[in-house]
């Protein structure tokens, strides 16, 4: 067994982007995701003495997942609309404008934007247990074993959820391939 690293920063802070990505996909709200990541990092710091130096990324993402689900349970039934100035940048990101490469011609830029929006919508249509598995596997590039650890489910369940998520994405994105 490897020794526990001496600093919280070396273990946790390098995984902030992955933590935010998971929280954002689970909650579908930038501000809620930021709050969840902040709360998760506070919990990770509080319980850092229990960290066993196995897989820091999985440990952090498991905490983020738990906090996100707790946040969702508390917020169930509430609907808020952001009125701050970042709302325009959120809408631009959803439309895919952040992905446009200045070197692209207008047609290529439109195709990239359309594909990004379609994929984002298709992912958001997935049930949360399927969405979290596909985000962890395809966007965060985690192994089945790590996903099983984070979601506290057997590897077979992870594999099943990934298969179902991929099938639903295909059905949504390429409907003509299904009768």
- Digit-coded pLDDT (tens) for 12-32: 888 999 999 999 988 888 999
In CATH, what number is assigned to the domain containing residue 40? 1.10.1740
* Tally of domains within the chain: 1
For residue 57, what are its two tokens? 């990324």
- Residue 176's pLDDT is 76
- Residue 104's pLDDT is 61
Instruction: Answer whether residue 104 is part of any domain.
Output: no
- CA–CA dist 27, 36 (Å, integer): 9
Instruction: Answer whether residue 60 is part of any domain.
Output: yes
- Residue 110's pLDDT is 63
Instruction: Answer whether residue 68 is part of any domain.
Output: yes
Q: How many CA atoms lie within 13 A of 75 on its CB side?
A: 16
Q: What is the percent of the chain where pLDDT is above 90?
A: 32
For the ranges 25-29, 75-79, 115-119, 159-163, which has the lowest average pLDDT? 75-79
Nearest partner of 136 among 110, 162, 166, 115, judged by Cα: 162
Instruction: Answer whether residue 71 is part of any domain.
Output: yes
Instruction: Answer whether residue 11 is part of any domain.
Output: yes
Expressed as residue numbers, the domain containing 48 is 1-80
Instruction: Answer whether residue 54 is part of any domain.
Output: yes
Instruction: Answer whether residue 100 is part of any domain.
Output: no
pLDDT tens readout for residues 91-136: 444 444 444 455 666 666 666 677 777 888 888 888 989 999 998 9
Instruction: Answer whether residue 155 is part of any domain.
Output: no
- CA–chain centroid gap for 170, Å, is 19
- Residue 178's pLDDT is 62
CA distances for 146 relative to 31, 60, 87, 136, 164, angstroms: 27, 11, 34, 9, 19
């Amino acid at each position: 067994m490897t020794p526990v690293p001496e600093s919280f920063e070396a273990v946790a802070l390098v995984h902030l982007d992955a933590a935010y990505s998971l929280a954002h996909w689970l909650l579908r709200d930038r501000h809620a995701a930021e709050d969840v990541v902040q709360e998760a990092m506070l919990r990770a710091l509080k319980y850092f003495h229990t960290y066993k130096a196995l897989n820091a990324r999985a440990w952090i993402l498991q905490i983020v997942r738990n906090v996100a689900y707790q946040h969702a349970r508390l917020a169930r039934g509430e609907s808020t609309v952001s009125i701050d100035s970042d709302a325009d940048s959120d809408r631009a990101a959803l439309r895919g404008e952040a992905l446009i490469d200045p070197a692209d011609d207008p047609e290529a830029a439109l195709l990239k934007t359309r594909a990004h929006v379609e994929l984002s919508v298709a992912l958001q249509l997935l049930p949360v247990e399927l969405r979290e598995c596909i985000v962890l596997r395809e966007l965060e590039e985690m192994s089945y074993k790590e996903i099983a650890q984070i979601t506290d489910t057997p590897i077979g369940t992870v594999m099943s959820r990934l298969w179902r998520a991929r099938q639903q994405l295909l059905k949504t994105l390429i409907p003509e391939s299904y009768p």
